[in-house]
Amino acid sequence: MISESIKTRFAKEVAKYPVEQKQSAVMACLAIVQQELGYVSADSEEVIADYLGMAPMAVHEVTTFYNMYNQHPVGKYKLNVCTNLPCQLRDGVKALQYLEKKLGIRMGETTTDGLFTLQQSECLGACADSPVMLVNDRSMCSFMSEEKLDQLVDGLRAAEGKP
Amino acid sequence: MNAENILSQFRATGVQTCFHDRHINPQIYAGLNGSNWRLKDYEARGGYQALRKILGKDGAIPTAENGVLGMTQDQVIATVKESALRGRGGAGFPTGLKWSFMPRQFPGQKYLVCNSDEGEPGTCKDRDILEFNPHIVIEGMAIAAYAMGITVGYNYIHGEIFSTYDRFEEALEEARAAGLLGNNILGSSFNFQLHAAHGFGAYICGEETALLESLEGKKGQPRFKPPFPASFGLYGKPTTINNTETFAAVPWIIRNGGQAYLECGKPNNGGTKIYSISGDVERPGNYEIPMGTPFSKLLELAGGVRAGRQLKAVIPGGSSSPVLPASIMMECTMDYDSIAKAGSMLGSGAVIVFDDSRCMVKSLQRLSYFYMHESCGQCTPCREGTGWLSRVVDRVENGQGRPSDMDLLNSVAEDIQGRTICALGDAAAMPVRAMLKHFRHEFEYHVEHKTCMVPAYV
């Protein structure tokens, strides 16, 4: 369900653009929905399409073109580890492999308790901070040594009461 | 501890990458410490003086005729031309010249766009500017808008740096509240509305026309040029697009003059430039140094090659620029002309360093996968060619290469280059051709011995 508070956030984005160009806010609206509901469903796309005066397919084109939109439900914490070349040179791949082992899943999968989804990602634009990882699209975590990965995963597990 | 607190512990502080004493005569990064990004701090550093300098004090816009104190639009553009500031996003196009292409007398809406979609592998300089000195970009954009007679602008920020996007929004609010953005800026008749927008994970949106498509709420597929954005840009209106660092350079130029900026660098390559150094160095990070500084000096600032190893190769301007072997790189100075003469590109100034333990086949394998992944699929040579390149490099790396594969890679790369709407095709082809030009023996070794020539790395 798209609540009134979500629509208030939509309105703030729409206000940035000329009145006849409401469609420009589609990227932001999809990101807001994902933050609030975890992923972008076909129903959410329809609500956004209606709100912005777009064809639902035009919204779907955007959802499927950009890598960060979740087209299906994911774990409560989506971990995107950068493995692009500058990070590969500084243990980015090792960080991903360490998480695969620690979480007992392969990249692209979600843990059975629904807590973590692990993904490989392309350049996050934080190359000097490698190993870097983006958590739930909005929190960039830098210099993620194995020790810090332990702290992060164990900390989140404890916070969710699943140590 | 709740989840938010846990995650915030791992947020970058900028200490390693930005707040160090290893810049040389910095302008954009000068005096930053991570907690002084707000308007009052920026003003204490001389911020918004350039904007005050150009705007007439009595409410009229200075023109050549009316004698109002300040700077006319033509004077601002002439100063930027004199400075030899060149586009910091990758192309190195002269900024003042670009500004002069904007049809100032166009009667309808015109737009100014800042390209902060920083996703070229190796590049992380704009993030530190926006995070730790956001007002310098706002001031630079306001000056540009004034010079070109533009009243609306957007800063399109890489979706992966969301906290930086949030901070920029906060800085915009501060500037609006202080009358530095909006209507009648600083009491003059100059109006400029500036907004922030974000991407959400598409490398191609760093290409300026793909960015415009994205800003219009569509898939980020590049447009055919011409028409160029100066005549047909955002919503089909005249639009000027510059990189974040380019806008950030402008306030200093207006305050100190074009000639002074030029003298910071070298002829045709004015000012300072921020280099993002990643890979095998002791201290990866951002380094702001004068244009024309020797590469060897930059490497020294970054602490030299990691663990005392030998330098093998450098990608000098982001992943799309051709790799150069150490012997050539050590003779270069860091500016557009020197790197071009050596057969590569300064690009975005992202310097990726390889030590002598690195396998160039494995390195290229990761890059070729990236370009395949990020091709927007619009042009056949890129859509099909990037996949082909990736699969062939993959099999060479994995010991299934054929003796003809090196020629095949060159041939596919040649057939992509120059045959696509945007530069992503070229960006995928150039690393392949350069790796084969300088390190062909490593590819041949892989094919012949089905294993790596240098100790494998993960």
Neighbours of B447 (CB within 10 A): 18
Q: For residue A126, give the nearest of B12, B352, B458 by CB distance.
A: B12
Q: What is the mean pLDDT of residues B18-47?
A: 97
Higher pLDDT among residues A2 and B238, named by residue: B238
Q: What is the pLDDT of residues B288-310, one digit of tens each?
A: 999 999 999 999 999 999 999 99
Binary contact (B17, A129; C-beta < 8 A) = yes
Give the span between the Cα atoms of B366 and A90, in whole angstroms.
14
Which tokens sit at B153? 């602008």
The DSSP 8-state label assigned to residue B269 in this structure reads B
Which pLDDT does position B58 carry in this prediction?
Answer: 56
Identify the residue among B16, B118, B212, B366 best suited for mutation to test binding to A, counting A beta carbons within 10 A and taking the highest.
B366
Q: What is the mean pLDDT of residues A118-146?
A: 97
Upstream peptide bond of B227 is cis (omega within 30 degrees of 0) = yes
Identify the residue among A60, A98, A127, A130 best suited for mutation to test binding to B, counting B beta carbons within 10 A and taking the highest.
A127
Cβ burial A94-114 (10 Å sphere, 16+ → b, else e):
bbbebbeeebebebeebbeee
The alpha carbon of residue B79 and the mean position of all alpha carbons in its chain are separated, in whole angstroms, by 22
Interface check for B275 against chain A (CB to CB < 8 A): the answer is no
Cα dihedral sign, B152-B157-B162-B167: negative
Count Cα neighbours of B430 within 13 Å in the Cβ-side half-sphere: 20
Q: What is the mean pLDDT of chain A?
A: 97
Identify residue B220 by its one-letter amino acid code.
Answer: G
Which pLDDT does position B81 carry in this prediction?
Answer: 97
Give the span between the Cα atoms of B170 and B42, in whole angstroms.
14
Please determine, for residue A87, whether its predicted confidence score (pLDDT) is greater than 70: yes
Q: What is the mean pLDDT of chain B?
A: 95
CA distance A64 to chain B (A): 9
> Of the ranges B65-79, B85-99, B343-357, which one carries the lowest mean pLDDT score?
B65-79
Identify the residue among B4, B6, B215, B311 best suited for mutation to test binding to A, counting A beta carbons within 10 A and taking the highest.
B6
Binary contact (B6, A156; C-beta < 8 A) = yes
Binary contact (A140, B277; C-beta < 8 A) = no
Give the span between the Cα atoms of A39 and B379, in whole angstroms.
30
Which pLDDT does position B349 carry in this prediction?
Answer: 96
Identify the residue among B278, B283, B286, B298 best suited for mutation to test binding to A, counting A beta carbons within 10 A and taking the highest.
B278
Percent of chain B with pLDDT over 70: 97
* Torsion, CA B259, CA B265, CA B270, CA B271, rounded to 10: -90
Report the SS3 class of residue B122.
coil
Higher pLDDT among residues A49 and B68, named by residue: A49
Looking at the DSSP bridge assignments, the partners of residue A117 are A78, A110
Binary contact (A66, B199; C-beta < 8 A) = yes
Which pLDDT does position B67 carry in this prediction?
Answer: 67
Q: Which of B364, B386, B363 is nearest to B374 (CA)?
A: B386
Q: What is the pLDDT of residues B246-263, one digit of tens each?
A: 999 999 999 999 999 999
Q: What is the mean pLDDT of residues A25-34?
A: 98
Q: What is the mean pLDDT of residues B219-241?
A: 97
Percent of chain B with pLDDT over 90: 92
Q: List strands edge to edge, sheet with B111-116.
A: B193-198, B152-157, B111-116, B239-243
SS percent in chain A: helix, strand, coil, step 5 = 50, 10, 35
Residues within 8 A of B (CB atoms), A 134-153 only:
134-135, 137-144, 148, 151-152
Q: What is the mean pLDDT of residues A106-135?
A: 97
Q: Which residue of B has its CA nearest to A87?
A: B279
Q: Which of B140, B382, B167, B164 is nearest to B261 (CA)?
A: B140
Q: How do A116-121 and A77-82 pair as beta strands?
A: parallel
Which pLDDT does position A162 carry in this prediction?
Answer: 85
* CA distances to B382, B405, B416 from B389, in Å: 10, 10, 10
Which pLDDT does position B60 carry in this prediction?
Answer: 63
Residues within 8 A of A (CB atoms), B 372-391 only:
373-374, 376
Interface check for B427 against chain A (CB to CB < 8 A): the answer is no
Looking at the DSSP bridge assignments, the partners of residue B316 are B318
Q: For residue B286, give the nearest of A21, A128, A141 by CB distance.
A: A128
Which tokens sit at B116? 């902060």
The beta-strand segments (E) located in B209-294 are 239-243, 272-279, 285-290, 293-294
Q: Which residue of A has its CA nearest to B121?
A: A123
Give the span between the Cα atoms of B370 and B428, in whole angstroms.
9
Angle at A76 between CA A66 and CA B204, to 5 degrees: 15
SS percent in chain B: helix, strand, coil, step 5 = 45, 15, 40
Please determine, for residue B320, whether its predicted confidence score (pLDDT) is greater than 80: yes
Orientation angle between helical segments B162-177 and B125-132, nearest 10 degrees: 40
Q: Which helix (H) or strand (E) holds B351?
A: strand B350-355
Which pLDDT does position B285 carry in this prediction?
Answer: 97
Binary contact (B200, A54; C-beta < 8 A) = no
Please determine, for residue B223, whether its predicted confidence score (pLDDT) is greater than 80: yes
Q: What is the pLDDT of residues B386-437, one digit of tens each?
A: 999 999 999 999 999 999 999 999 999 999 999 999 999 999 999 999 999 9
Which pLDDT does position B268 carry in this prediction?
Answer: 86
Which tokens sit at B423? 């530069």
Binary contact (A141, B11; C-beta < 8 A) = yes
Which pLDDT does position B62 carry in this prediction?
Answer: 75
Q: What is the pLDDT of residues B126-160, one digit of tens each?
A: 999 999 999 999 999 999 999 999 999 999 999 99
Give the span between the Cα atoms of A102 and A98, in whole angstroms.
6
Upstream peptide bond of B226 is cis (omega within 30 degrees of 0) = yes
Which pLDDT does position B456 carry in this prediction?
Answer: 64
The ipTM, to two decimals, is 0.97
Identify residue B109 by its one-letter amino acid code.
Answer: Q
Which pLDDT does position B59 carry in this prediction?
Answer: 57
Please determine, for residue B69, whether its predicted confidence score (pLDDT) is greater than 90: no
Which tokens sit at B341? 């003469």
pTM score, whole prediction: 0.96
Interface check for B307 against chain A (CB to CB < 8 A): the answer is no
Upstream peptide bond of A131 is cis (omega within 30 degrees of 0) = yes
